[in-house]
Chain A
């Protein structure tokens, strides 16, 4: 009776509202991925091709892990460079083998090409970049006690060093979250640039800082950088100030210790008093029992 009168209607109300909230499944359309690729030449001269695969959901990029990206070089006849599977961030990074003979175009650039061949669920995607190979040398010297950075950029044409002139170059110092710009200018006719470093840049505990000279996502050269670590910074001491609210501190505010102690002492004092009363109850009973026997 109760079930019929109350429980079934209530159940119907709740189940009805939950069913109403469900939507009819719609056949999912294949993902249309967005591919990008960047070129990076590091201090040791290694070439890194970094390709990313994402899917935009509500204008937010969602990484696509586990996709095989195939890298090539060349225009008409493609040279396979290798394949890499995207990681959980959606990145596939290929480090080119040293001494690889890459097909150079008439303008001296190399065409790098990345391709994802696609599946039923994810559509195919491709991306290409044209990069002219340059070298970037960096020298850190003290000129009349002034900390000076000298950069020189050149390309190799038939074994000859040809300076890279009038191109934008940057100097940074590495910080914890991003690189701090120290200078930016155009290279002179010899492909050179010189700048000073301030004396008051905080370094690590020993004063080491990492200086970076870089073509920053350059339209011809991609990203080419040279990093060097040198003891030119100010040594920093990491002193953690005492704070009573940090997770790791053992020090509680005095008012809190006192309040809590008073509260606990008060409450537990009463508990003990009542427990003693319970023992008294038993003692009284025993006394009365023995008195009755006597």
Chain B
């Protein structure tokens, strides 16, 4: 099928979704807005009542918020790595799914840092991080890194959108409101697909995809070092950087599979997102799950073998109080995806999606058992140690804000997929490297 025909076919597919909005779409949006509003009510309660409304106390100073922060940042970096690598290697099968990866990158990156703000007791002093920066502090590295990454990902996303903006601006078959046409025209930057323009876009995208791969690895390692350089049982580990990066790719590939499954069903994209895509992403999930399992084993084995008293206490806590979480995150979460994708007979779209859901939930739980049991096992008791300060359980405020975060992630994804087709039109009909060489 030639490029224009492929493009027209896709446009025809997305036409109903771009032109009109169904009642079902609005209903889902309403439910999501209500969940988000619940999160806002939690936020108001926290601002008016102070952090005492959360489960965080003097010992466990980080709770579900930091877990969500690491989790969302992980999704973002995984999206960046997947989209960057697929673009760089010019994989043919990437085309229908690359936009999802790009959107995951940017939307997660927009939401993740908000959870850090929720942890901070004195938000009025937040600007001190910028006016009195100490570059020897991992917190400063994180601020610099996340800001740099966010801007880079926005540029990368915009670069990948320009050609689609131009296609939507020029198309005549879809009846779009005037304001939207104006927005497409403005954002398309006058792109008409001349060889010169194509070359610029291609060169910039290749450059940015390489950049965001590097930045994603560095920034997520920095995030891991916030834990790794802290002298706390379970955190002070040399492998935390690569371990976090692998875990991020694990959760990100899982989320990609879930999104592929959802959008395939909503937009009936069976023709474009095929079993091959699920199997390829599933194989990525399998490989990363194996690495992730290996890193997890190494980390706990060395801690256990060292027999340092505090590490022994931590491991004991993991196998008693956090028993079911530990088993779910580090046994089921790793073994199930490997088994499902590893056995060809089980390798169906539905099974791969179930494996992905388990992987994503397991990763969240894994983050929880990295943060909470460590803080519940301090080296020294604090001056006034009360029993209820030593154990943490999230309150409704924390759960509401967590649900709010997930809701806004889905809302932004819905809005983005309403504004632009979830499958890149230009990628599906675009030129490849060889054609560009000829153009040059």
Cα(A264)–Cα(B189), bound, Å: 28
A267 within 8 A of B: yes
- Decide if A62 touches B387 in the complex (CB within 8 Å): yes
Cross-chain pairs A/B with CB under 8 angstroms, 22 sampled? A6-B354, A6-B357, A62-B387, A88-B384, A257-B135, A263-B218, A267-B215, A268-B148, A270-B207, A270-B208, A270-B211, A271-B151, A271-B211, A281-B190, A281-B200, A282-B190, A284-B190, A284-B196, A285-B190, A285-B191, A285-B192, A289-B190
B201 within 8 A of A: yes
Q: Do A277 and B148 form a contact, CB below 8 Å, given A256-B136, A285-B192? A: no
Residues of chain B touching chain A, judged by Cβ–Cβ distance below 8 Å, are 134-136, 141, 144, 148, 151-152, 155, 158-159, 162, 189-192, 194, 196-197, 200-201, 203-204, 207-208, 211, 215, 218, 324, 354, 357, 384, 386-387
- Decide if B134 touches A281 in the complex (CB within 8 Å): no
Q: Could you say which residues of chain A place their CB within 8 Å of the CB of B387?
A: 57, 62
Q: Could you say which residues of chain A place their CB within 8 Å of the CB of B159?
A: 274, 278
Q: Could you say which residues of chain B place their CB within 8 Å of the CB of A62?
A: 386-387
Cα(A271)–Cα(B357), bound, Å: 35
Least CB distance, B127 to chain A, in whole angstroms: 18
Q: Could you say which residues of chain B place their CB within 8 Å of the CB of A288?
A: 192, 194
Q: Do A252 and B134 form a contact, CB below 8 Å, given A267-B215, A278-B189, A285-B189? A: yes
- Decide if B136 touches A281 in the complex (CB within 8 Å): no
Cα(A57)–Cα(B194), bound, Å: 78
Q: Do A264 and B204 form a contact, CB below 8 Å, given A17-B324, A285-B191? A: no
Q: Do A252 and B155 form a contact, CB below 8 Å, given A267-B211, A278-B189? A: no
Dominant SS at the A interface?
Answer: helix
Cα(A30)–Cα(B204), bound, Å: 73
- Decide if A274 touches B136 in the complex (CB within 8 Å): no
Q: Could you say which residues of chain A place their CB within 8 Å of the CB of B354?
A: 6
Closest 8 CB pairs of A and B: A285-B190, A252-B136, A282-B189, A274-B204, A252-B135, A277-B204, A281-B189, A277-B200
Cα(A253)–Cα(B158), bound, Å: 37
- Decide if B136 touches A245 in the complex (CB within 8 Å): yes
A156 within 8 A of B: no
Q: Do A253 and B136 form a contact, CB below 8 Å, given A264-B148, A285-B190? A: yes
Cα(A277)–Cα(B162), bound, Å: 13
The chain B residue with its CB closest to the CB of A257 is B135
- Decide if A278 touches B190 in the complex (CB within 8 Å): no
Q: Could you say which residues of chain A place their CB within 8 Å of the CB of B215?
A: 267
Least CB distance, A88 to chain B, in whole angstroms: 7
Q: Do A274 and B155 form a contact, CB below 8 Å, given A57-B387, A281-B201? A: yes
The chain A residue with its CB closest to the CB of B158 is A278
Q: Could you say which residues of chain B place their CB within 8 Å of the CB of A263?
A: 218
Least CB distance, B211 to chain A, in whole angstroms: 5
Cα(A6)–Cα(B357), bound, Å: 10
Cα(A282)–Cα(B189), bound, Å: 5
Cα(A271)–Cα(B147), bound, Å: 13
The chain A residue with its CB closest to the CB of B151 is A271
- CB contacts under 8 Å to B, within A254-276, are 256-257, 260, 263-264, 267-268, 270-271, 273-275
Least CB distance, B172 to chain A, in whole angstroms: 19
Q: Could you say which residues of chain A place their CB within 8 Å of the CB of B211?
A: 267, 270-271
Cα(A190)–Cα(B223), bound, Å: 71
- Decide if A284 touches B197 in the complex (CB within 8 Å): yes
The chain A residue with its CB closest to the CB of B215 is A267
Q: Do A260 and B155 form a contact, CB below 8 Å, given A57-B387, A278-B189, A282-B190? A: no
Q: Do A273 and B197 form a contact, CB below 8 Å, given A257-B135, A285-B191? A: no
A77 within 8 A of B: no
The chain B residue with its CB closest to the CB of A270 is B211
Cα(A35)–Cα(B196), bound, Å: 88
Q: Could you say which residues of chain B place their CB within 8 Å of the CB of A260?
A: 135, 141, 144
Least CB distance, B16 to chain A, in whole angstroms: 22
Q: Could you say which residues of chain B place their CB within 8 Å of the CB of A147?
A: none
Most A-side CB within 10 Å, residue of B141, B204, B207, B387: B204
A250 within 8 A of B: yes
Cα(A257)–Cα(B135), bound, Å: 7
Least CB distance, A27 to chain B, in whole angstroms: 19
A175 within 8 A of B: no
- CB contacts under 8 Å to B, within A20-67, are 21, 57, 62
Least CB distance, A254 to chain B, in whole angstroms: 11
Among the listed B134, B144, B192, B201, which residue makes an inter-chain contact with A264, where contact means beta carbons less than 8 Å apart?
B144
Q: Could you say which residues of chain B place their CB within 8 Å of the CB of A284?
A: 190, 194, 196-197, 200
Q: Could you say which residues of chain A place their CB within 8 Å of the CB of B191?
A: 281, 285
A280 within 8 A of B: yes
Cα(A250)–Cα(B135), bound, Å: 9
Among the listed B134, B189, B324, which residue makes an inter-chain contact with A250, where contact means beta carbons less than 8 Å apart?
B134
- Decide if A267 touches B155 in the complex (CB within 8 Å): no
Cα(A270)–Cα(B176), bound, Å: 36
- Decide if A274 touches B192 in the complex (CB within 8 Å): no
Cα(A17)–Cα(B387), bound, Å: 25
Q: What is the 8 Å Cβ interface bit string for chain A, positions 282-293, against chain B (1 contact, 0 not)?
A: 101110110000
Cα(A252)–Cα(B246), bound, Å: 30
Least CB distance, A277 to chain B, in whole angstroms: 5
Q: What is the 8 Å Cβ interface bit string for chain A, positions 159-194, against chain B (1 contact, 0 not)?
A: 000000000000000000000000000000000000
Q: Do A274 and B189 form a contact, CB below 8 Å, given A6-B354, A252-B135, A256-B135? A: no
The chain B residue with its CB closest to the CB of A274 is B204
Q: A252-B136, A257-B135, A282-B190 are in contact. List 16 more A-B contacts (CB 8 A).
A: A89-B384, A250-B134, A260-B135, A267-B148, A267-B211, A267-B215, A270-B208, A277-B204, A278-B204, A281-B190, A281-B200, A281-B201, A284-B196, A284-B200, A285-B190, A288-B192
Q: Could you say which residues of chain B place their CB within 8 Å of the CB of A275?
A: 155
Least CB distance, B150 to chain A, in whole angstroms: 11
A236 within 8 A of B: no
A244 within 8 A of B: yes
- Decide if B155 touches A271 in the complex (CB within 8 Å): yes
Cα(A250)–Cα(B218), bound, Å: 24
Cα(A141)–Cα(B159), bound, Å: 86
